[in-house]
Amino acid sequence: MTPEDTEPCMESSQTILNSHNGDNILVLMAKAPRPGTVKTRLARSLPVEAVTELYRCLLADTIALAHSLCGVTVAIMCPASDVEELALLAGGETGVVAQQGDGLAAALISVFAHFAVPGSRHVIAFNCDSPHLPAAVLANAFEMLNVHDVVIGPTHDGGYYLVGAKAVHAELFLRDGMGTDSALDALLACAQRLQLSVGFTDPFYDIDVEGDLTRLAAELRLAPARAPRTAAWVEEWQQSVPRLRSAAGEL
């Protein structure tokens, strides 16, 4: 991105939580960065403290990416136990809302139940694993909701990194196989049963396993400004973790 792409365009937390005046709302799906609770698959190949710090960096860069979108209100949806910690990490410009229920499906249902106002607002739920996503992809996702009921950002592993809608469709997430390689297919099948039109953004990848991190490290070495905090983490841990250093060096 150019420097112009990263200029902040922020709304107040009060606006996010109370007024809901914005037509476009980007809701980040997040957890507090605590050891053993985030990026657990990566912890099989990296020290848990490294994984925890990586998630903290991914989250910070994702919040910055979200605020680079002008005309978009930014919020975080998270487990109730994480609200206070995430509010401190996110700062006053990002409202933090407690989800109803446990798990990612409950979080997604909570996003649209809390923020969607049929006919007047576009809401997109976005993961915190893709802070290097071009901002134009997010902007395009909001535009697609002008002509589709639902917009989906597919990942290469059979999941999705974002889902957006302009109304509450809780049935979309009741049987979607969260965390599996069939999550996208299940979501599309639900959308078809509900007779919802679906638009797609560009396929991308999130950071779940070591191969994803290796790919990210190679990309950020070439363009660290896309996710500067994460790029700094990569630089630090390549010096300490031989596996990460050698894998990144092969790309």
* DSSP sequence for 203-247: -B----SHHHHHHHHHHHHH-GGGSHHHHHHHHHHHTT-HHHHHH
Mean pLDDT score across all residues of the chain: 85
CA angle at residue 184 from 225 to 26, to 5 degrees?
45
CA distances from 49 to 64, 150, 233, 237, 244 (A): 23, 37, 12, 11, 15
CATH second-level architecture of 3-208? Alpha-Beta Complex (3.90)
The answer to whether 152 and 162 have CB atoms below 8 angstroms apart is yes
Residue range 94-153, pLDDT digits in tens: 999 999 999 888 999 999 999 997 767 899 999 999 999 999 999 999 999 999 999 999
What confidence tens digit (pLDDT) does each residue in 116-126 have?
A: 977 678 999 99
Paired with 150 in beta bridges are 165, 198
pLDDT value for 45? 82
Give the residue extent of every domain in the chain.
3-208
C-alpha 184/C-alpha 186 separation (Å) is 5
Tokens of 60: 């910070």
